[in-house]
Structure 1
Amino acid sequence: MKRLFYLVDAIDNVESISDDLHRDGVSNWRFHVVSKDEAGLYSHHVHSASVLDRTDLPRFVERG
């Protein structure tokens, strides 16, 4: 599995990257966006990351 990380400074850039990924056949369930502005992601129709994506919780549970 590959992971790509994009660091952007504006939600408009995220929307542009999202449109590019959709055009290449990547669905919303294959990429997630971490942002402090959850409302902005919702208003731009960008799929936000879950708690499991934002934290390293599964690894800590395994080590538990």
Structure 2
Amino acid sequence: MLKWILFALCIVGIYFFFFKKPKTIHEKKEHKKDSIMLECATCGTYVSSDEAIIQDGKYYCSKECAQC
């Protein structure tokens, strides 16, 4: 009887190890913020919307481009 219980525990352990994904991976994918690539008004380089500098309604890739 003990052999069957150990066998069942091994099967369940293998299932959870190989087939069951942790919830944190799915939560990160769902909460991941999408960013848009924007073109710098001065040099034409594309920069993500998270890193873009907005000045006078235009998008810039750096402070140097925004000052020009």
Higher gyration radius (CA):
2
Q: What TM-score comes out, normalization by structure 2 length? A: 0.23
TM-score by length of 1: 0.24
Structure number with higher helix proportion: 1
